[in-house]
Chain A
Amino acid sequence: MIGFELQSIEPDNVPVAIGQLIKNGGRMQMVYGWQPDDGHLELRYVASRGVNEDFLVLRCVPRGPLPSVAGISPLLGWHEREISDLFGLKFTGLPEPYRLVLHDGASPVMPPLDRAYPFDTPMPFEPTEGGMPVVDSADVQRLPFGPVRADVVESVELIFFYIGEHILHLHPQLFFKHRGMEKRFEGRSLAHGVILAERVSGVDSFAHGLCFCQAVECAAHCIVPPRALMLRSLLAELERLYNHLHYLGHLSHTTTLKVGEAEGKLLEERAKQINGRLTGSRFLRGLLIPGGLRCDLAPELWLSQALEDLRKDVAVYTAMLETTNSHLDRLITTGVLNRQVAYDQGATGPIDRASGLDWDLRRDHPYAAYGELPLTVPVRTSGDAHARAQIRIAEIDASIALIQRILLLLAAGPVRVDCSPTPHSEGLGWVESPRGSLFYGIHFDSGSTLSRVKIKSPSFSNWRVFPLTVHDSNMMDYAINEASFGLTVAGCDR
């Protein structure tokens, strides 16, 4: 089992250490703050090193403002702004010195993630416009779209600066849906923690629940029984399956391929009904618990056949999509994300792999039963909407194959062991969710209740990357490009 290696670092050395780490082939994953019982603030810089190596966690106790490392590792810019909003820590030299998570106009009595923040006290809020780049021309038209957009979609405000069909700049105003989920974990039991984690992002419920459980198990050094690990992998793949099918249906919607949309959404519905039949929840909720699963499942009897039927239909469907010129014409060369930008800005999951970065937590830092399972990780290099769609199509295939394999390997046995973390322990969880890498950083206080839970969702990373493919692009391609990223807002906003 891979874990993490904790090192302490002086605040002044942070930029140098991170620069060195990146030079040696490491990649930053997140930085977050937490307050131990005595109330001082600590930061954790989390980085991945090589394949199958422990994650590196740098512990840093800031004394006063900290130098920003966004210039060295651009993907940390948003993380630093989040810490600045929620913990009140100042960073010097932030390239984008605006609020991120809290909207301008929100004036909490103290930083909301401060443990002294009075419980259930809403922040006073007077809506004002947030910080964004200055557009220096009276000729440029501004199109504010949202937060209530057309269709049934999540709330985000997209501010386009555009001339006719040409988008000069997109400024997504996110965090309308910031619910303060991380704060809600404070002082909660583990069982409630899973329930909360499952409700951070509905369509990634299982990934979030699993990541939470793995972080707790990491802190508790808990060994989960093999059947539970196998079932966890199976359920994680079922989640990928319905998400990717939805993705294809929605992508067809944006390319106005009506029958393709209907078929994609129908296949998604079938996958969700399989979820419901297997687990009682269409979103695979209510199954996970640190130490295993809350109850055993019996997928052996019928799941294999149901998935085989689904696979055949999916194969016909994806083959048709891949030969439909009108569909492909609108995907190829749309929203190109090059490898360097993807790497620098921390794109993750299918987005990452479509831009030539071969990284998948299931294979490179295996968890659950993935270490024992053969896994194909599709990679494309063109970085356009078509590459992103192709990655998903290939992953659907791989997921079904993986589930069938699990069904063959699944042996009877217990599915749950007791899991109780030691006081003052901390754990790191990671999961390759359908949308990319998900991290949970968990800290326990003197008891065994949760003291701090940090969630780094894949959409948080991918929303950062997405606008960079929109600048200087075409209005007609926007919806297709957005659909090709398959973003969730709830996961990003938390």
Chain B
Amino acid sequence: MSNDLLAAGLTSWLIAAGLALTGRATFFTRIILGIGGGVLLVLVVTTLPEGSASVHTPLGIGVSGSDFRLSPDALWLLGFGLPGAIFATWLGTPARHQATWSFGVAMSLIGALGVFGLQDAVSFLVAWEIMSLGGAVMILGEDLAPEKGRSVLFMLGLLEAGSVALILAFLLLSQQTGSLSFSDFAAAAGAMPKAEQLFVGLLLLIGFGAKLGLLPFYEWFPGAYGAGSGATGALLSGAVLNAAFFGFSRGLTEWLPVNHALPVSIPGIFIVAIGVLSAILSALYAFQQEDWRELLSLSSAENASIAVCLLGATMMFRQDGLTDLAGLAWTVALLHLAGHALAKGAMFLAADGVYRVVGDYMLVQRGILARNSWIFGLGALFAAMSLAAMPPLAGFVSEWYLFQVFFQGFHLSSLASRMTAALAGAGLALTVAIAFAIFIKLFGIGLLGRAERRVPQIAITTSVAVGVLGSLVLALAAGMPIWLTHLAPVSATFDSDAPSKMADGWLLVPLTAKFAFISPSKLVIVMPILALLPITLLLLSIRRRPRVVPVWYGGRDQNPQRAATTALTFSNALRTFYSFIYRPIIETERESPQDSNGKPYFTRRLVFTHDVAPIFGPYLFAPLEKLVISLAARLRIIQSGHLNFYLSLIGALLVIILLLVLL
């Protein structure tokens, strides 16, 4: 049954890819893509919590084909990535050309499916590359930004650097046993020297970190996301991001052995540190963005970093043999990404909705909320609240668990681990606070606020998509005790059934109710009741309506829109406070008229530009780029077209082959 569904889903995506290549029937293509997603969603719902049966496919690269199996955690992560993907394909990109984009979507989804399910290194890498290229095809196919080529190349460059790291890691692992199958990797890693294990871990960190947006790789996020549409963003931050996390999590927790000889999990501490720093930096940069997609993309990097922190915590707990806590940390990472994928999908699609009516993705007060249906508003509100970790939504649940995980760091035996947990808790608190501000900014400026001119209404389809995704975020939180039971077998890796200990009736607890508890399910009921009081007051005040006069602007009739908070002014205080990180650039150019005789006193126009300086760009990526360009310049001779040069090359090659054969 499950394999039939899998085949059906994959087939429809392949058909869609084929259709997309013809460039016709784009709507039909997207429907088929959506159907494929829907079929797989059914697969996920029906097979959880067990995981799908293993199938041997002859399609794999290499002589023996490859195995395909979706483990429960893969199903969970895939399942929560799918709703966003289904709605994104249903709505399509707002760009003019749908065909190329649809092909990219199909590539990404097929690649992601492969990453989730393929069980050997070679076919995994092929799927990984298809997924990466699919992202690039989507963005290039949309043709939304003039500078898209550069951003996409930057993204692909970094992803390829990651892929090289992955290839190297797989080579090292397969060398031990001579097997490319993932099932042998754990044994292979166990047989390695300690230093080599650490090296493999580092390679995995680079390989998957490039996709997850760990530092320094988050710097490709705003450029690439900002060159594509919201629909692309929903896919990249949903199914694709989850697939990358799945790969990383499997590598760290299943392949690499727990080294009980050491008193402290150095890799765990390192991963937590990288995760916290990435989360803080990407949150800080996300807060300064003025474009829906760029802001949301960096927020994705931040959320992925939080999940990576939890992976680090898992490793630290396992090192100390605290299997339940390790299971807790790991489960929380899954919960976090689940809620994130849904909410981020809703926000990205909302961004597309805004783009379709106003023509750009800028965060400007336009009175979107006032003009549109409550379905859209509620969906966007739930999603933004969840991403801002406000109760009772999914983001709140997972981030509450996140802090419980790090609070329980006192169970750890070594001082270094306890310190790490405490510092990580502090760092993540900062991140969460900034994330709160990020979504106040996004929702407040992007959706609330007054409009200077009337904007058309957002299409009902978008509203429904956002509304449904937003409601799913709420449902995920409200039904958390139920969903947790479906995760129980997932953490079997750690000899723990943490998920079943995380719910106590309708309460959510960090393994024990004695430590702390919340109940989003009850909050869902209580919070509307609490709202009754202000609502009653409001209703009462309508009867005793006070005299209403215009806003007081010192006696003039001013347009409040022009005095309204802008995206920059909202985030400027933090920009000033953290100027040592941001190193903000402010430039004001004053244009004088010609008649001013070169004197600077008469200003006709003020051109104001501002930016924050990237941290790694100028110091890490720019020199690398320079190196590549200079190498390219040297190697250009190969492309010179001189026949004699080519002939001499061939001649030299033949001589070398001859020598090799002779020797």
Q: Does B597 contact A (CB under 8 A)?
A: yes
Q: In the docked arrangement, what's the CA distance between A141 and B608, Å?
A: 12
What 1/0 mask marks residues of chain B from 584 to 613 whose CB sits below 8 Å from any chain A CB? 001010101101110101111111111000
Q: Is the CB of B606 within 8 A of A169?
A: yes
Q: Is the CB of B601 within 8 A of A344?
A: yes
A478: min CB distance to chain B, Å: 15
Q: Is the CB of A165 within 8 A of B576?
A: yes
B557 surroundings in chain A (CB, below 8 A): 127
Q: Does A95 contact B (CB under 8 A)?
A: yes
Q: Is the CB of A163 within 8 A of B569?
A: yes
Q: Does B555 contact A (CB under 8 A)?
A: yes
Q: In the docked arrangement, what's the CA distance between A140 and B563, Å?
A: 9
Contact of A139 among B554, B569, B576, B602 (CB under 8 A): B569
What 1/0 mask marks residues of chain A from 146 to 187 whose CB sits below 8 Å from any chain B CB? 111100000001000101111011000000000000000000
User: With A141-B563, A147-B554 in contact, is A163–B572 under 8 Å at CB?
Assistant: yes
B319: min CB distance to chain A, Å: 46
Q: Is the CB of A95 within 8 A of B602?
A: yes
Q: Is the CB of A135 within 8 A of B608?
A: yes
Q: Does A414 contact B (CB under 8 A)?
A: no
Which chain B residue shows the least CB distance to A147? B555
Q: Does B553 contact A (CB under 8 A)?
A: yes
Q: Is the CB of B593 within 8 A of A472?
A: no
User: With A144-B553, A165-B576 in contact, is A135–B606 under 8 Å at CB?
Assistant: yes
User: With A144-B558, A147-B554 in contact, is A169–B569 under 8 Å at CB?
Assistant: no
What 1/0 mask marks residues of chain B from 351 to 367 whose CB sits below 8 Å from any chain A CB? 00000000000101000
What 1/0 mask marks residues of chain B from 556 to 578 whose CB sits below 8 Å from any chain A CB? 11100011111111001101100
Q: Does B290 contact A (CB under 8 A)?
A: yes
Contact of A144 among B563, B588, B593 (CB under 8 A): B563
Q: Is the CB of A164 within 8 A of B576?
A: yes
Q: Is the CB of B576 within 8 A of A133?
A: no
Q: In the docked arrangement, what's the CA distance between A96 and B590, Å?
A: 14
Q: Does A136 contact B (CB under 8 A)?
A: yes
How many A residues touch the partner, as a band? Answer: 35 or more
Residues of chain A from 123 to 143 with CB closer than 8 A to chain B in the complex: 127, 133-143
Q: Does A106 contact B (CB under 8 A)?
A: no
Q: In the docked arrangement, what's the CA distance between A146 and B569, Å?
A: 22
Which chain B residue shows the least CB distance to A139? B568
User: With A71-B595, A142-B563, A157-B554 in contact, is A133–B603 under 8 Å at CB?
Assistant: yes
Q: Is the CB of B563 within 8 A of A138?
A: no
Contact of B588 among A68, A94, A96, A168 (CB under 8 A): A168
Q: Is the CB of B566 within 8 A of A95?
A: no
Q: In the docked arrangement, what's the CA distance between A137 and B587, Å?
A: 12
A140 surroundings in chain B (CB, below 8 A): 566, 568, 606, 608
A175: min CB distance to chain B, Å: 14
Q: Is the CB of A71 within 8 A of B586?
A: no
Most buried by A among B564, B566, B592, B609: B566
Q: Does A441 contact B (CB under 8 A)?
A: no
User: With A133-B603, A163-B569, A165-B576 in contact, is A139–B586 under 8 Å at CB?
Assistant: no
Q: Is the CB of B569 within 8 A of A70?
A: no
Q: In the docked arrangement, what's the CA distance between A77 and B595, Å?
A: 11
Most buried by B among A70, A157, A163: A163
Q: Does A289 contact B (CB under 8 A)?
A: no
A468 surroundings in chain B (CB, below 8 A): 601
A138 surroundings in chain B (CB, below 8 A): 362, 364, 566
Q: In the docked arrangement, what's the CA distance between A148 and B573, Å?
A: 28
Residues of chain B from 599 to 658 with CB closer than 8 A to chain A in the complex: 599, 601-610
B394: min CB distance to chain A, Å: 33
Q: Is the CB of A163 within 8 A of B586?
A: yes
Contact of B566 among A77, A139, A149, A472 (CB under 8 A): A139
User: With A71-B595, A71-B597, A74-B601 in contact, is A141–B569 under 8 Å at CB?
Assistant: yes
User: With A142-B562, A344-B601 in contact, is A136–B607 under 8 Å at CB?
Assistant: yes
A338: min CB distance to chain B, Å: 11
Q: Is the CB of A95 within 8 A of B555?
A: no
A464: min CB distance to chain B, Å: 9
Q: Does A93 contact B (CB under 8 A)?
A: yes
Q: In the docked arrangement, what's the CA distance between A146 and B556, Å?
A: 7
Which chain A residue shows the least CB distance to B569? A141
Q: Is the CB of B554 within 8 A of A146?
A: yes
Which chain A residue shows the least CB distance to B365? A138
User: With A141-B569, A344-B599 in contact, is A157–B556 under 8 Å at CB?
Assistant: yes
Q: Is the CB of B569 within 8 A of A77?
A: no
B588 surroundings in chain A (CB, below 8 A): 168-169, 472
Q: Is the CB of B556 within 8 A of A133?
A: no
User: With A68-B595, A344-B601 in contact, is A134–B563 under 8 Å at CB?
Assistant: no
Q: Is the CB of A77 within 8 A of B586?
A: no
Q: Is the CB of A163 within 8 A of B568?
A: yes
Q: Does A332 contact B (CB under 8 A)?
A: no
Residues of chain A from 53 to 78 with CB closer than 8 A to chain B in the complex: 68, 70-72, 74, 77
A193: min CB distance to chain B, Å: 33
Q: Is the CB of A139 within 8 A of B610?
A: yes
B580: min CB distance to chain A, Å: 17
User: With A136-B605, A136-B608 in contact, is A147–B556 under 8 Å at CB?
Assistant: yes
Q: Is the CB of B586 within 8 A of A148?
A: no
Contact of A71 among B558, B572, B596, B604 (CB under 8 A): B596
Q: In the docked arrangement, what's the CA distance between A137 and B606, Å?
A: 8
Q: Does A345 contact B (CB under 8 A)?
A: yes
B445: min CB distance to chain A, Å: 11
User: With A138-B566, A164-B573, A169-B603 in contact, is A146–B596 under 8 Å at CB?
Assistant: no
Q: Does A117 contact B (CB under 8 A)?
A: no
Q: Is the CB of B602 within 8 A of A96?
A: yes
Q: Could you give 22 example pairs across A and B, Cβ below 8 Å?
A: A68-B595, A70-B595, A70-B596, A94-B595, A133-B590, A133-B606, A136-B605, A139-B569, A140-B608, A141-B565, A142-B563, A144-B553, A144-B563, A146-B554, A146-B555, A147-B554, A149-B554, A163-B586, A164-B576, A166-B586, A168-B608, A169-B606
B residues with CB within 8 A of A: 290, 362, 364, 553-558, 562-569, 572-573, 575-576, 586, 588, 590, 592-593, 595-597, 599, 601-610
Q: A133-B606, A140-B568 are in contact. List 14 more A-B contacts (CB 8 A).
A: A71-B599, A72-B597, A93-B595, A96-B602, A136-B608, A139-B567, A140-B608, A142-B563, A144-B556, A163-B569, A164-B576, A168-B588, A168-B608, A344-B601
